[in-house]
Amino acid sequence: MQPDNFDIVIQGGTLLTMSADMQIMEDAVVGIRGSRIELVATNLRPAANKIIRADGCLILPGLINTHTHLPMVCFRGLADDLALMDWLEHHIFPMEKRFVNKEMVYDATMLAMAEMIQSGTTTVCDGYFFENQIAAAIQACGMRAVVAQGFADFATPDNPAYEKMMAAAGRFVKRWKPYSPMITPAFFCHSPYTCSPETLVNVKAAARDAGILYMTHLLENKQETATVEQRYGKKPVRHLLDLGVLDKDTVAVHCNWLSSDDIDVFAALDVKVSHNPASSMKLAAGVAPVPQMLDRGITTGLGTDGAASNNTLDMFQEMNLAAKIHKAVSLDPTVMNAATVIRMATIDGARVLGLEGLTGSIETGKLADIIIVDMNQPHLTPLYNPYSQLVYAARGADVKTSIINGKIVMENRRLLTMDPAQAIRNVRKIAARIAPEPTPR
């Protein structure tokens, strides 16, 4: 072992850097030392402690899931084909009240990690209850994450009263901030219809003090506008604007019913958007005006939402749907293209989470969050356009190897930082309490 060796070198294959100029390199070489990318080149054969061959593969930045609720994998497939509010109020909220606890959240997050690593995600943004346990599980698996402590004006499984929520949130930030940029704390207000103006404002003030992101579900379904208008005499985006909670460190999730005026506000204030097509399609909640947002330069990332409404955490499915749904509803196939979708799933996702200086592209100086996709397969043959192939033909199961922060977390489909069989057993035990018998309909 020579002292100037790289720790890891990825050798061969086609590299999609996702740099500003969308550089693509054949016979690529990526050299990693510690957590960093220190070499991006072609036609070189540098020495390394570990060489990963990528011939016939695509090498690209790990995918960034900008919105999910990880422990909801426990509710995957339990209540489908229902309207959003029916699903939420008669199925999800009651089940969360009964079954969400520290142990459930930890075990479920471990299972979610297996699924996400196996489908190419290297950074995830989560918002749920018992976020300390979620962060701990993520940390154990070596994934990069933004973990958002949730707020709502009703008793949540982890926090019965508003005052206690704020105190707990302070402790949460203090506990996890030292681990950034592996685990980065954030705050998450559930929505303008479940959080009072006071909560929305106070949480944003606390987020600004802590220098962290502030998130909220926004305009997921059509009725939200009427609800907020009735209560506050204005539409949701105007309501948030007047409360002063919209800025470049605010991430609005869903935005299915964003009007063109709302888009103006978002563009002017550089508000970020997380687009979750699978979940919104399945809940029939609406289709976000993403082509219009992108035209106005609004930074938009992709998210899977929770597995109860998706029902997977597979960013390849999310890319596929993001590429297709806007064509379908506009009857214009040119409103979204494959390269744009890959940007949303990588570098733009990093921008949404404020991590664009660290991840989201493969460039020297960045942290090594990299996936290798095996294209030596019938359904990925032939290969004319790598972006098209990833978006329209590949699926999560085609990710062969994954590196996060310079550490190999999956190699040739084998997970190295966790035991998926154990995670499956643990969640099956929880599921047996939730629904003792399978419930086909």
Q: Which is nearer to a second copy, 243 or 281 (CB)?
A: 281
Instruction: Take residue 359 and report the two structure tokens written for it.
Output: 């991840």
> What is the separation, in whole angstroms, between the first and last Cα of the chain?
60
Q: Which is nearer to a second copy, 207 or 415 (CB)?
A: 415
Task: Give residues 341-380 in contact with a second copy (rule: CB under 8 A).
Answer: 376-379
Instruction: Take residue 35 and report the two structure tokens written for it.
Output: 């957590």
**Interface with a second copy includes 337 (CB under 8 A)?**
yes
Task: Give residues 140-199 in contact with a second copy (rule: CB under 8 A).
Answer: none
Instruction: Take residue 137 and report the two structure tokens written for it.
Output: 């599980």
Residue 388 backbone dihedrals phi, psi, to 5 degrees: -60, -45
Shortest CB 432 distance to a second copy, Å: 8
Binds a second copy by CB under 8 A, chosen from 332, 357, 364, 414: 332
Q: In angstroms, rounded to a whole number, what is the distance separating the alpha carbons of residues 142 and 62?
A: 13
**Interface with a second copy includes 84 (CB under 8 A)?**
yes
Shortest CB 333 distance to a second copy, Å: 4
Contacts of 359 (CB under 8 A, 6+ apart): 61, 62, 64, 122, 123, 144, 181, 350, 366, 367, 369
**Interface with a second copy includes 27 (CB under 8 A)?**
no
Binds a second copy by CB under 8 A, chosen from 243, 388, 411, 416: 388
Binds a second copy by CB under 8 A, chosen from 43, 230, 260, 334: 334
What three-state secondary structure class fits 57?
strand
Please give the C-alpha separations between residue 253 and each of 201, 217, 247, 390, in angstroms, as whole numbers: 18, 5, 14, 24
**Interface with a second copy includes 310 (CB under 8 A)?**
yes
Instruction: Take residue 290 and report the two structure tokens written for it.
Output: 């993403």
Binds a second copy by CB under 8 A, chosen from 280, 300, 346, 402: 280
Instruction: Take residue 156 and report the two structure tokens written for it.
Output: 């949540």
Q: Which among 92-100, 169-177, 355-363, 426-434 is the span making contact with a second copy, rule CB under 8 A?
A: 426-434
Q: Which among 28-36, 231-239, 246-254, 382-390 is the span making contact with a second copy, rule CB under 8 A?
A: 382-390
Binds a second copy by CB under 8 A, chosen from 325, 347, 350, 371: 325
Strand order in the sheet with 300-302: 63-68, 121-128, 144-151, 183-189, 214-218, 250-254, 272-275, 300-302
Give the count of residues interacting with a second copy (CB under 8 A). 87
